[in-house]
Every structure is written in structure tokens, then in C-alpha cells.
Amino acid sequence: MGLSDTLAERFDVESHGSDVRTELVAGLTTFLAMSYIIVVNPFILADAIQIPGYEFFEVVQMIAIATVLSAAVGTAVMALYANRPFGLAPGLGLNAFFAYTVVLGLGVPWQTALAAVFVEGVLFILLTLVGAREYVIRLFPEPVKRSVGAGIGLFLLFIGLQELQIVVPDEATLVTLGGVFANPWAILGVLGLVLTFVLWARNVTGAIVIGIATTSIAGWALTLGGVFARGTVTPETLPSAQYDITPLAGAFVDGLANIDPLTFVLVVFTFFFVDFFDTAGTLIGVSQFGDFLDDDGDLPDMDKPLMADAVGTTFGAMVGTSTVTTFIESSAGVEEGGRTGLTALVVAALFLASLAVIPVVAAIPEYASFIALIVVGVMMLQGLVEVDWDDPAWAVSAGLTVTVMPFAYSIADGLAAGIVAYPIIKLAVGEGDEVALGQYAIAALLAIYYVLSTADLIL
């Protein structure tokens, strides 16, 4: 039996309607779509993590290693334990909260912030073991489950359009159409986007990978040829990597030594809340896109991918990075046909491989990697056809879920809006008895949380 047959049997690829080649391409696609985190996460966290005796770039390198290791471990657990094609890595938003709100804003030592992430991860492991996380997610109203994929798609689309400067800030209207043709990088990104859409429309396998790779190579060539400004990073301009992370790994232990109980609990709770709903929304949204949900809109054996998320977060805190979560960019691999943990295993392996070439991976231009977000975002909008728009409770709940995500720039906020709206509209139309007691409870807790948050009574 060859390696291909062994992998097919181990991950039960055939019964999931896939094949080994498709899974490998899907894994590469997801990794390329996620690879920006290797660069983005370190530069965000390095603003807050200052280690005496080390220069800024040295700290960035340490955090990059921690980012790669935590992504590889969390994604490997997803592959081997959950057998799902989802990639994990330190999440955007949560890392900004870690750096700018907790450490720089509240003055909490970065070691203590890592300790809070570690405690959150342990709590998630315990709650997942007893089935509590899966139970809560199963209580999400069905219109929320059916629309969250489109909401994430619109969120991805909005992010991608901004990154390519197709959409830019505007004082009068908040956003407006950007001057794409005044920026050579934006022009190249748009051309790469057009190429990717054309390849996808023609059912070319690996369309997103080809689009990202072609755009990156073109950008490097134009920079080296002097057409583009030399300020942009290319493989030949990057310094060599260093791999000593001892000042960072295990720092959470020191953070547990001296804590202010009230502040620490609030920080842990906020990490807990945002991570819980971000992960839930991503899992359901990507699963809907991949047709993994059952007739009730639930992901079978959801406790397994949730455990991968919890293990990744706990390990990430141990090596020195913020909360690890399932990435919405997993949709890129699912679109390429990824259906099993083999896709995730490829992602994990590529993260580990990137340790040897971290500078080169870091050279993938953002305008190339964000092509995947626009393409996948458009594709995920197809989930809107599953919403019963004639039912007021469905229309309001799903509508808010889809629109609040991009407008509030938060998957968690979009989910919360849909969850809170559902019982309210059900009561308004005289169908309150169709709402489960648990759904009322979750909606009430979320409403209380947001009231207190906007009143500046909690973080």
C-alpha cells in the first residue's frame, strides 16, 4: 500500500467525496490564504511584548516562531483528532485586544496577558470535555446557523476589498470606491483577482493557489526589476531567521505569579467570550459552505474541532502567543474541495515547513494573499438561499447576522445580533413558545453583556 492509499484510508477520503490530490491542493490553498498571519501576528504583539536585551525585530522573530508552532499544533489536532479541513492560528482581533487593550491600555504585563489566554484555553478544554460548548452552539437559532456562512463571506469580502484598496475610508460616507489605478500594487492585486476569478469560473483546480502564486511572483519580479518601490519586501531582501524563543516560551508561568484578581477575571472572560463566538461562527459558517451541517444546521461531532481550538489556544499561550482560533480562510481550502483532516494535516505540515523559510513566507505580499478573501467571500454568499426570507424571525435574525459582521468588523458581534433578535421577533409574532428556554437564556446573557460593555462597566 503506497503513501497515497495510506492517507486516503487514514482520513477516509473517498467516503467524503474527495481524493488525496484534491486534499493536498486544498491544504496548500488554505495555507497560502492563512500565511499572512505569520507576519501580521508578530508585528501586532511585538508592540506590547518587550523583552529586555532584545531588539524589536528579534522579538518579532520569536513571536513568528510561536505563531507557526501554535498554528501547526492546533491544526494537527484538527486533522488527526477531528478529521476536519479547518486551519487554526492566532486570531486577528484577539491579538489586537491582547496588545492594545490589555497590555498597552490597561497596563497588564504581557506575561499576565499570556496567563489569561492559558486559563481561557484550559477552561475551553474542560467545557469541551463535558460537552458544554457544543450544547450552547446547538442552541443557536437555525436562521443564524444558515446565514452565518454568508455573513462571514461578506466579512471576508469587505476585508479583501479594503486590503486591495478597492474600497477606502471616506469622511462623508465612511467608505467609498478607491483610486485603484493610482496605486501600482492595487493594480497588480486587481489583475491577480481577475485571473483567479477567471480560473475559478473555468473550474481550474487550484485556482486560488495559482492566483496568489502568480501575483506574488509578478510583484517580486517588478520590485527586483525596479518598476515598483524597493520598500516592499521580497525574498532576497529579508534577513535570516533565528529560532531562540526561550524568553517567550513559558512566560505565562511568571504571569500567574502576580495578578489583580478582578482585572484578570475580566480579561479572561473577554478572551473567553470573543473566542467562543468567533470559533462557533467560523465552524458553522465554513461547515455550511462545505455542506458539513446536518438537517438541523449542526456540525456532527462538533466537540472534536472545538477541542482542537482549545488545545491550540492553550499551547499557544505556553509558547508565547495570543488566542488560537479556527480561521475563516479555511473556506478557501474547502472551496478547492478539501473535505477531510488530510487538508488540515497539509496546512499543519506547511506551517512547520515554513519554520525553515519564515522570511520567504513573510514575503508573500498582502495584496496577493488577500485575493483569496475576495474570491471566497463572493462564493460564500450562496448560503443566503437557505434563509426563509418570508418568515419575519428568520429575515430579521439572518439579516442582522449577515450585515453586522462586516459593519462591526466582528464575527462574534454578528452572531450576537442574530441570536438576540430571534426570540424578540418570535415573541412579536406570537410564536414565543417555539423558542427554547436555552435560546432565551443565551439571548438575555448576550444582551446584558453588550449593555454593560457599551456602558464601559467591563472591558
With a pLDDT cut of 70, the percent of the chain lying above it is 94
Contacts of 114 (CB under 8 A, 6+ apart): 251, 252, 255, 317, 320, 322
Q: Which one, of 282, 270, 250, lies nearest residue 88 by Cα?
A: 282
- Averaged confidence pLDDT in the chain: 86
Residue 353 bridge partners (DSSP): none
* pLDDT value of position 28: 93
Q: What is the pLDDT of residues 9-31, one digit of tens each?
A: 999 999 998 999 999 999 998 99
143, 388 Cβ separation under 8 angstroms: yes
**How large is the average pLDDT for residues 418-427?**
95
Among the ranges given (68-82, 180-194, 317-331, 362-376), the one the predictor scored with the smallest mean pLDDT: 362-376
Res. 116 pLDDT band, cuts 50 70 90: very high
Res. 244 pLDDT band, cuts 50 70 90: confident
Res. 231 pLDDT band, cuts 50 70 90: low
β strands within 146-186, DSSP E: 167-170, 174-177
With a pLDDT cut of 90, the percent of the chain lying above it is 41
Query: Does the pLDDT value for residue 358 go beyond 80?
Result: no
**How large is the average pLDDT for residues 203-231?**
79
255, 114 Cβ separation under 8 angstroms: yes
Q: How far apart are CA 318 and CA 65, in angstroms?
A: 12
371, 208 Cβ separation under 8 angstroms: yes
Task: Give SS3 for 174.
Answer: strand
**How large is the average pLDDT for residues 427-453?**
90
What DSSP string runs through 334-403? HHTT--SHHHHHHHHHHHHHTTTTHHHHHTS-HHHHTHHHHHHHHHHGGGGGGS-TTSHHHHHHHHHHHH
Helix (H) or strand (E) holding 324: strand 324-326
325, 86 Cβ separation under 8 angstroms: no
Q: How far apart are CA 233 and CA 359, in angstroms?
A: 9
Res. 272 pLDDT band, cuts 50 70 90: confident
Q: How far apart are CA 438 and CA 303, in angstroms?
A: 19
351, 71 Cβ separation under 8 angstroms: yes
Residue 90 bridge partners (DSSP): 324
For the chain, what are the domain ranges? 8-168+238-362, 388-458
Res. 459 pLDDT band, cuts 50 70 90: very low
Among the ranges given (52-56, 61-65, 101-105, 225-229), the one the predictor scored with the smallest mean pLDDT: 225-229
* pLDDT value of position 331: 87
Q: How far apart are CA 38 and CA 246, in angstroms?
A: 19
* pLDDT value of position 65: 92
Res. 361 pLDDT band, cuts 50 70 90: low
Q: How far apart are CA 274 and CA 230, in angstroms?
A: 39
Query: Does the pLDDT value for residue 273 go beyond 90?
Result: no
Q: How far apart are CA 40 and CA 369, in angstroms?
A: 12
45, 101 Cβ separation under 8 angstroms: no
Q: How far apart are CA 295 and CA 102, in angstroms?
A: 41
**How large is the average pLDDT for residues 356-360?**
73
Query: Does the pLDDT value for residue 370 go beyond 80?
Result: no
Query: Does the pLDDT value for residue 38 go beyond 90?
Result: no
152, 328 Cβ separation under 8 angstroms: yes
Helix (H) or strand (E) holding 250: none
What DSSP string runs through 71-131? HHHHHHHIIIII-----EEEPTTHHHIIIIIIITTT---HHHHHHHHHHHHHHHHHHHHTT
Query: Does the pLDDT value for residue 206 go beyond 80?
Result: no
- In terms of average pLDDT, the best of 52-66, 217-231, 348-362, 433-447 is 433-447
Q: How far apart are CA 284 and CA 302, in angstroms?
A: 9
* pLDDT value of position 333: 92
Query: Does the pLDDT value for residue 54 go beyond 60?
Result: yes
Q: What is the pLDDT of residues 144-200, one digit of tens each?
A: 888 887 887 888 788 888 878 888 898 899 889 887 777 788 888 899 999 999 998
Query: Does the pLDDT value for residue 233 go beyond 80?
Result: no
Q: Burial of 370 by CB count in 10 Å (0-12 exposed, 13-18 middle, 19+ buried)?
A: buried
Res. 129 pLDDT band, cuts 50 70 90: very high
Res. 457 pLDDT band, cuts 50 70 90: very low
